[in-house]
Amino acid sequence: MAKKEVKKIFITRMIPDEGIKMLKKERGLKIEIYERDKKIPRRELLKRVKGVDIILSILTEKMDAEVMDAAGPQLKMIANYAVGFNNIDLEAAKERGITVSNAPGPEIVESVAEHTIALIMALLHRVVETDEYARKGKYKGWGPMLWMGTDLIGKKLGLIGTGKIGMGVARRLHDGFGIEILYHDLHKNKALDKMGAKYRTKSQLLKEADIVSLHVPLLDSTRHLIDASALKKMKKTAYLINTSRGPIVHEAALARALRSKQIAGAGIDVYEHEPKITKSLTKLPNVILTPHTASATIETRQAISRVAAANIIAFVNKKKLPNKVS
């Protein structure tokens, strides 16, 4: 039997261990890891990828022509530890014959949908504001006018984007709370229609919805989908939720809308210039900011690790990739 060729894999950041264990069990793989839970410096990344056959990359690492050429012509795969892949130059990868994969799965759908609803509930019931109030020792006794929020029951949810995560949010809020669903997408969604949801143009949805939740990919057509003009169309009592991609929202325009109380509030998990956050946003009481942690559950992050590893194992064994991007 011919000896299996050893493939060198570089993992650009420490990831949950289940995927790493899968790779270590596979014969013919030599694994190197940047074993720190922080972004690898660019200079070190260019040095560490030299001579590797496969890169398991993180969404925070830019996989461009420079990285691919630094690795060398033997680089044949980039496996992204993420559902998204806008950190990878797909055209450069195609030109060099490099296969690209991502790591979707049902777990990420569930956790991001749950986080979306957590942001909605926390905003409406002013959970973050009242937590801070109590911690600072300001609570001196119950009062009928103290920190009044608003109920979710009776509100209209407006979904922009009706993929798996958008559907997960719709299902939970419709079945669990009985709220009315409005939606906008490129095409009508039969499953949502059966649920009693109503299709709207983007403009109509923004004007009617009490909660606008974004669930679209980052494309040229969706960049700044929510800008100053879009925010002006929303109700003064409406809330904006973004757990999709940061640049979909014009962050400075959102900060202005929140500061002037043009809209009631926002829940944001992703940022236009991540990891930087528009400074004025951080000073506003009517916005909840989470650090891109919508999928940060043990179950989901381990699942992403397993899916990324499964893509690599399929590739080295010349089998069909479960999640090939290009």
* Domain definitions of the chain by residue range: 7-102+299-316, 107-289
Whole-number pLDDT of residue 91? 97
Whole-number pLDDT of residue 84? 85
Catalytic residue among 48, 245, 301, 306: 245
Averaged pLDDT for residues 28-34: 96
What is the number of residues in the chain?
Answer: 326
Whole-number pLDDT of residue 35? 87
Q: Percent of the chain, pLDDT > 70?
A: 99
Residues 6+ apart with CB under 8 A from 297: 107, 111
The answer to whether 251 and 258 have CB atoms below 8 angstroms apart is: no
Catalytic residue among 26, 66, 114, 274: 274
Whether the per-residue pLDDT at 166 is higher than 70: the answer is yes
Encode 179-197 in three state secondary structure: CEEEEECCCCCHHHHHCCC
The pLDDT confidence band at residue 3, using thresholds 50, 70 and 90, is: low
In whole angstroms, give the CA distance from residue 275 to residue 181: 32
Side-chain half-sphere exposure of 127, counting CA atoms within 13 A: 11
* Sign of the Cα pseudo-torsion (101, 107, 113, 117, in order): negative
Catalytic residue among 171, 172, 259, 292: 292
Q: Does this chain's domain 7-102+299-316 share its CATH topology with 107-289?
A: yes
The pLDDT confidence band at residue 34, using thresholds 50, 70 and 90, is: very high
Whole-number pLDDT of residue 192? 97
Instruction: For residue 254, give the H/E element and its range.
Output: helix 251-259
Averaged pLDDT score across all residues of the chain = 96
The answer to whether 209 and 157 have CB atoms below 8 angstroms apart is: yes
Whole-number pLDDT of residue 4? 62
Least confident window among 35-39, 145-149, 190-194: 35-39
Residues 6+ apart with CB under 8 A from 49: 10, 55, 67, 70, 71, 75
pLDDT in tens, 41-95: 999 999 999 999 999 999 999 999 999 999 999 999 999 999 889 899 999 999 9
The answer to whether 265 and 123 have CB atoms below 8 angstroms apart is: yes
DSSP-derived pairing of the beta strands 156-160 and 180-184: parallel
Q: Percent of the chain, pLDDT > 90?
A: 93
Cis amide prior to 106 (ω within 30 degrees): no
Q: Hey, which bits of the chain come out as E strands?
A: 7-11, 29-33, 54-58, 77-81, 99-101, 156-160, 180-184, 198-199, 211-214, 239-242, 265-268, 287-289
* CATH numeric code, 7-102+299-316: 3.40.50.720
In angstroms, what CA-CA distances link 211 with 122, 150, 268, 308? 13, 12, 13, 34
Catalytic residue status for 274: yes
The answer to whether 131 and 108 have CB atoms below 8 angstroms apart is: no
* CATH numeric code, 107-289: 3.40.50.720
Dihedral angle of Cα 105, 107, 109, 113, to the nearest 10 degrees: -170
pLDDT in tens, 246-305: 999 999 999 999 999 999 999 999 999 999 999 999 999 999 999 999 999 999 999 999
Whole-number pLDDT of residue 1? 44
The answer to whether 308 and 322 have CB atoms below 8 angstroms apart is: no
Catalytic residue status for 245: yes
In whole angstroms, give the CA distance from residue 211 to residue 214: 10
3-state secondary structure of 204: helix
In whole angstroms, give the CA distance from residue 211 to residue 180: 11
